[in-house]
Amino acid sequence: MPNITLPDGKKLSFDEKVTGKQIVEKISKSLAKEALIMSVDGNLKDLSFEIEKDSKVKILTSKDDDGLDTIRHDTAHILAMAVQELFPGTQVTIGPTIENGFYYDFARKEPFTESDLKKIETKMSEIVDRNETTYREVWERDKAITHFKKMGENYKAEIIQDIPKGEEISIYFHGKWHDLCRGPHLPSTGRIGKHFKLTKVAGAYWRGDSKNEMLQRIYGTSWASKKDLEDYLKRLEEAEKRDHRKLGKEMNLFHFREESPGAVFWHEKGWNLFQKLVNYMRKKQQVAGYKEINTPEILDRSLWEKSGHWEKFGTHMYTSQTPDEKIFAVKPMNCPGCVQVFNQGLKSYRDLPLKMSEFGKVHRYEPSGALHGLLRVRAFTQDDAHIFCTEDQITEQSLSITNLILEIYKDLGFENVILKYSDRPDLRVGSDAVWDKSEKALLEAVKETKLDYSINKGEGAFYGPKIEFVLRDAIGRDWQCGTLQVDLNLPERLGASYVEKDGSKKVPVMLHRALFGSLERFIGILIENYSGKLPFWICPLQTVVIPVSDEFDEYSKKVNKQLIDAGFSSEVDLKNHNLNYKIRDHSLSKVPILLICGKKEVDSNSVTIRRLDSNKQENIELKKFITIHQALNKAPSL
């Protein structure tokens, strides 16, 4: 005789066990139409689930996250049904929901093509129209394994084998088609609607392990309404428009070419942007007490052997052989070089903490499939620093690094930052005692920041635990940028030491830290975050002076020179094109301010300014323009 409590506190009582369907019919007809699944005492269940004891029940529709998620899950099932109807012999594996959609991995010899996706979508619509009823059965483990093996579904059989003993093995049926699944599911296939789309085919390793065979994954998206689907596809299109590879080309910032995959050819404007960022960081680091150094790009193999890189990182390192057959490695990290600078001359405890920064260009032989524009390259510049300190200083130094990083992100318009803390990986150097100590100190610093953080087990660097700084951009994407790593191994390996108060020698602790991480990656992120419309102070081309006709070329040149002298990145456009053409041209290349010069301006020693994305005209005295904009020509915090 279950008593059912609804979210609004209302109670319904029944004489015998009751299903969600029966409950919802009692609540309202309109809700009955919308109902997809239900939550019973916090557990998601099918509407056909029979409730036997007193429970709190919430009926879920497509407006609830869990409801929408179930729609996606059902769409994945229907995808698998459709594929097996169209391509008999295809094995199903897993088909979970993901952000905004779902995927399903299949095992089949022949590849799926883009045109197959269309066919599959049509078949899926048919299945929705058939409105097959969903029902659930619980099977014995052995029966399930034998059954799926007999069907030729070896992957499913393997999955069932791995389900922990004692857990129910539930099989969901949509008509005749059935799949092992935890559920819950919608009452029938008609309920998912037709607001879905298959988006891409891709390879994916069975169980996510590159040692296993590769399956074929079909990705799709599914929504509660046609409008939601359209909005989502629009969002994808918008994101594509901000792609830094497209904008980089349009804005003439950089390019890539076959001779050096994953390495950037910076053009004048891109390099100007790059230098502006570097100069900005130099200033910030000076204020924070860093000393900038620079170390060689190519170092003898023996140093990398001593540091441990040769062994742990060798497959990612470029090496070079000299004519006399010596082997040098191109640095993949700056740390060994920096330790050698520390090692030069005697250091005292009074020198600590010693903060040495370096804009070091490193090379890493990344797997070809990992490369992605500026965001994943093989040659990049780190805004690196190494802080030599005592164990007692780790937490305090970590905090000051964190503050510096947050300040810098804020200057560039990123205020939404989360931390990821990673501890010891399987492949590592150093004793467990040393790891214990460094993990503890770093975690303490993480907690001190009071920022949100997550813990990633086993994802630390091979030489120490780390914090990663993840920032969220204008369209909600997360990017890992800054990093802070404790290193209790390398200083010892390379024989670093300082003289203690009592005259004894001690090995310092080293903190590795990068602010943006890679300048290249950060520039990619910046471009996408701002859709190319960068903040004025880092804009590689801030102003373009445009004469109304060639009669005013001389005046325009004079204006341009004054702007350059005043520290702006400026150009004058003397091409034989009309004003409209030039405004369009420079607007498309995202120049923030255009200065138009004609008779009126010459007469009053002024300029008429037009800002990007505005057609307002504003006449202003040149001197005044310069004063106002000079104040804007630096980072907010400087």
Partner RNA sequence: GCCCUUGUAGCUCAGCUGGUAGAGCAAUUGAUUUGUAAUCAAUAGGUCCGCGGUUCGAAUCCGUGCGGGGGCACCA
DSSP conformation class of 550: G
Min separation Cβ 154 and RNA, Å: 19
Residue at token pair 């990619």: 524
**Closer residue to RNA (CB): 259 or 502:** 259
**Residue 496 Cα distances to 341, 416, 465, angstroms:** 10, 38, 20
Task: Indicate the residue among 169 and 247 with the shorter CB distance to RNA.
Answer: 247
Q: Which residues are catalytic?
A: 335, 364, 382, 384, 386, 466, 512
Phi-psi group of 561: left, alpha or beta (phi > 0 → left; psi -120 to 50 → alpha; rest → beta): alpha
φ, ψ (nearest 5 deg) of residue 394: -55, -50
Least distance to RNA, CB of residue 131, Å: 31
CB of 481 to RNA, least distance (A): 12
Return the number of the residue (49 or 313) whose C-beta is nearest RNA. 313
Which C-beta is closer to RNA: that of 234 or that of 584?
584
Taking the complex as a whole, the smallest distance from the CB of residue 594 to RNA amounts, in Å, to 6
Nearer to RNA, 15 or 237 (CB): 237
3-state secondary structure 386-453: EEEECHHHHHHHHHHHHHHHHHHHHHCCCCCEEEEEECCCCCCCCCHHHHHHHHHHHHHHHHHHCCCE
CB of 229 to RNA, least distance (A): 18
Length in residues, the chain: 638
Can you read off the two tokens belonging to residue 596?
A: 């138009």
Phi, psi of 241 (to 5 degrees): -65, -25
The 3-class SS string of 476-522 reads CCEEEEEEEEEECCHHHHCCCCEECCCCCEECCEEEEEEEEEEHHHH
Q: How far is the CB of 110 from RNA (least distance, A)?
A: 9
Which residues make up the interface to RNA (CB under 7 A)? 111, 113-114, 200-205, 208-210, 214, 216-217, 245, 249, 256, 258, 261-262, 312-313, 316, 332, 364, 366-373, 376, 459, 461-463, 548-551, 575-581, 583-584, 587-588, 594, 596, 598-601, 608, 610, 612-613, 615, 617, 619
Contact 437, 488 (CB under 8 A): yes
Query: What six digits make up the tokens of 448?
Result: 């001190």
Q: Return the number of other C-beta atoms located less than 10 Å from residue 394's C-beta.
A: 23
Residues 6+ away with beta carbon under 8 Å from 143:
none
Which of 5, 587 has the CB closer to RNA?
587
Across-strand partners of 361?
Answer: 381
Q: State the Cα–Cα distance between residues 352 and 473, nearest whole angstrom.
A: 36
The whole-angstrom distance between residue 508's C-alpha and the CA centroid of its chain comes to: 34
Is the CB of 148 or the CB of 155 nearer to RNA?
A: 155
Q: Residue 200 pairs with which residues in a beta bridge?
A: 219
Rounded CA-CA distance 302/330 in Å is 13
Amino acid making up residue 270? G
**Assigned token pair, 518:** 């890679």
Smallest distance, Å, CB 580 to RNA?
A: 4
323 CB neighbour count, 10 Å cutoff = 5
Smallest gap from residue 158 Cβ to RNA (A): 17
Which tokens sit at 289? 């007490």
Q: Which C-beta is closer to RNA: that of 30 or that of 580?
A: 580
Give the DSSP letter of residue 163: S
Burial (CB < 10 A; 0-12, 13-18, 19+), residue 309, is buried
Q: C-beta of 112: minimal distance to RNA in Å? A: 7
Residue 148 or 552 with smaller CB distance to RNA: 552
